[in-house]
Structure 1
Amino acid sequence: MLFGVFLTLGVGVLSIGLRSFQNSYLQKAGALGILVATYLAVYFISGSWIWGLAAAVGWLFLPWLEILTRIRALRLPKEKQLRPKSPPSSDTFPALSDITREIEDEGFVHVGDAGWDWEDYRQFFRLFYREEDRAQAAICLNEQHDFSFYYLRISSRARDGTAWTTWNYPLSYGLKLTPLFRINRQRADRSFWQLYQSHREFLRRNGVDPAQIDPLDEERIESEMEKDLRDQIAHNIHKGVLKQTATGDVKYSWRGMIYLWCQFLVDLVRL
């Protein structure tokens, strides 16, 4: 009995330690270790490997608690109109100034702040542009209730409408991207310099000629972002991920909720 207790505790502590590292491989190993620790705990308590396996697999269905509560009740506007927006306070987003300086150090110019609010859901975008290679960059802050996160995005928009985008979005992305988006996803712990170097390599790897990149000004950057948001909503309605409500808003369909869960599983196993 003591052997089982110490083995389970050892695997659990090791797994939590691995999850604290910034290396994605170690984090995934930690996630796997938590499943193993759960299996061992239930197995040693019940004496049944079937119950142990069921408990471990149960972790994979944990996202349904949020999907069936918060996500199912979520409503979003069909049209998202960006407006000039004041930056969040240093208490809300303490890293904003440091990230801004980091982006400007790479030759990007701060062209404006924008965002939109909807009920208790808020988005803030700090927009940048680099004339030399016509690259857009953005600091994106998402807030809902008492939960918030940010990510960085670099985009190069070709004249044919293709948006070559590098980002470090930290969560499972909840909507399908339109066919014009080409995504180079990086880890959430990557610095902007690392993202920018990865983006340049991403363009080279796909044979994107700088002459194909459409030059943009501040007004066009915001208008193109609004168009991207509208097109994405329309695309997800067409794919059945979202559906329109009687009031004109949109919400997740059952197909969309299953899609969210599948995205969680994909992220869980992605190395």
Structure 2
Amino acid sequence: MRETLVVVGLAVLAMGLRSSRRAMPRKLGALGFLVAGFALFYFLTDCWWCGFFGIIPWFLLPWIELLTRIRRMRLPMDNSLRHRTPPDPAFFPHASEAESAMEEAGFDHVDDCGWEWSGMQQYFKLHWNPEERAESAICLCEQEEVAFAFITVTSRDAEGRIWRTTNYPFSPTLKCSPEVKWNHVPCERNCFHQILKDHQDFLTKMKVDRESLQIPDPEGMEAMIEAEMKSQIRHNLEAGVIRPSGERHFEYSVRGLFFLWGQFIKDMIRLC
């Protein structure tokens, strides 16, 4: 009974830590699940090295989804943004606060648009600021009963490079194009003013000359997002992460499934 209570206690403690809003407790929670698995197999076999077999299943869990839902996914090669009415603010965390902060920072609203990816709805509230030479977006991803929001700030230079800062909470599901330079900040950082400052610091760190940045074209923002997605799809086709599937669609290859597995493992350990 003592051993059972120890395993249950470790699992409950790990669940509690994973529900924290701070990154460090969440990481400790991930470690707690591994320790619980180790303890379970150790108590069952009374052999310390057998305890490591209790850790392995946690790293294999993503394959359940990879070999079922994701392996059957067929995604469009060409996807177009369309004007859409934003969903209920109750499902759009921090959207109103972020939009107010964008207006305070001099960013003007451009459009509300979105697209669909195999059942996942993505909505964008696009903004721009000619003085900052930057675009910003509040993004909502919604799939079935799961929804999350994030913010991006983007600058583009004359050489075609894209500099982007975001609090997107997960690892990317496709390899990034070489011309896109990402700056990920913690997902709990929801203050737009702080994210904008992080973006400015990122440009300074990367020694990007402000004068080389292009002033955004508000009328062409949607077309540039679509062109960027097409470039990313081409890059992943060349890398073998995805492969054509039927007319104007693609699916994940075996290499792509292993790539996604690695991304899932990162998220399981990191979670922001």
Structure 1 partner of 2:127 = 128
In 2, distance between residues paired with 1:241 and 1:52? 34
After superposing the two structures, state which structure 1 stretch, 239-248 or 254-263, moved more. 239-248
Per-residue displacement from partner, 1:142-178 (whole Å, max 9, x unpaired)?
A: 2233333222111111111111100111122100010
Shift of 1:55: 2.0
8 Å contact kept, 1:172–1:263 = yes
| Aligned twin of 1:87 | 86
2:195 maps to 1:195: yes
Could you tell me which residue of structure 1 aligns to residue 110 of structure 2?
111
Distance 1:56 1:210 in 2: 49
Note the residue ranges of structure 1 that are not aligned, 5 or more in a row: none
- 1:14, distance to aligned residue in structure 2 (A): 3.0
Q: Which residue type is aligned with residue 205 of structure 1? A: K
Which residue is equivalent to 2:21?
Answer: 22
- Which whole-Å CA distance do the structure 1 matches of 2:142 and 2:251 have between them? 18
Shift of residue 8 of structure 1?
Answer: 2.8
Shift in Å, 1:69: 1.1
Partners of 2:89 and 2:44 in 1: CA distance = 48
Rounded Cα–Cα distance in structure 1 between residues aligned with 2:204 and 2:49: 50
TM-score between the two structures when normalised by the length of structure 2: 0.92
Structure 2 matches for 1:131-210, cutoff 5 A?
131-191=130-190, 192-210=192-210
Compute the RMSD of aligned alpha carbons.
Answer: 1.9
Q: State the match for 1:39 in structure 2.
A: 38
Relative to structure 1, the CA distance from residue 118 to residue 19 in structure 2 (aligned partners, 3 Å threshold; closer, same or farther) is closer
- The answer as to whether partners of 2:129 and 2:216 remain within 8 angstroms in 1 is no
TM-score, normalised via structure 1 length: 0.92
Higher mean C-alpha deviation, range 33-42 or range 59-68? 33-42
> Which whole-Å deviations, capped at 9, do the CAs of 1:207-257 have from their partners, x for residues lacking one?
111111111121221111111011011111111111111232111111101
Identity in percent = 38
Give, in angstroms, the shift of residue 102 of structure 1: 2.6
Rounded to whole Å, the distance in 1 between the matches of 2:16 and 2:236 is 38
What is the CA-CA distance between 1:18 and the residue it aligns to? 2.2
Give the corresponding residue for 2:259.
259
Paired letter, 1:59: W
CA contact (8 A) 1:76 1:118 kept: yes
Instruction: Provide the residue aligned with 2:101 in structure 1.
Output: 102
Give the gaps of 5 or more residues in structure 2. Answer: none
Measured after TM superposition, the shift of residue 108 of structure 1 is 1.4
What's 2:212 paired with? 212
Q: How many residues align?
A: 270
Q: C-alpha separation between the residues in 1 aligned to 2:120 and 2:7?
A: 40
Equivalent AA in structure 1 for residue 265 of structure 2: L
Secondary structure, aligned partner of 1:111: strand
Change (3 A) 1:118 1:25: closer
Quick one: structure 1 residues 173 and 94, their matched pair in 2 at CA, closer, same or farther if it must change by over 3 Å? Answer: closer
Q: Secondary structure at the match of 1:69?
A: coil
Give the SS at the match of 2:149.
strand
Alpha-carbon shift at residue 91 of structure 1 (Å): 4.2
CA distance in 2, matches of 1:140, 1:254: 30
Letter aligned with residue 77 of structure 2: K
Does structure 2 retain, via aligned residues, the 8 Å contact 1:172–1:260? Answer: no
Equivalent-residue separation in structure 2 for 1:144 and 1:6 (angstroms):
37
Which residue pairs with 1:240 in the alignment? Answer: 240
Distance 1:173 1:156 in 2: 19
1:48 shift after superposition: 3.8
Q: Which moved more, 1:229-238 or 1:189-198?
A: 189-198
Q: 1:28 to 1:118 in 2, by over 3 A?
A: closer
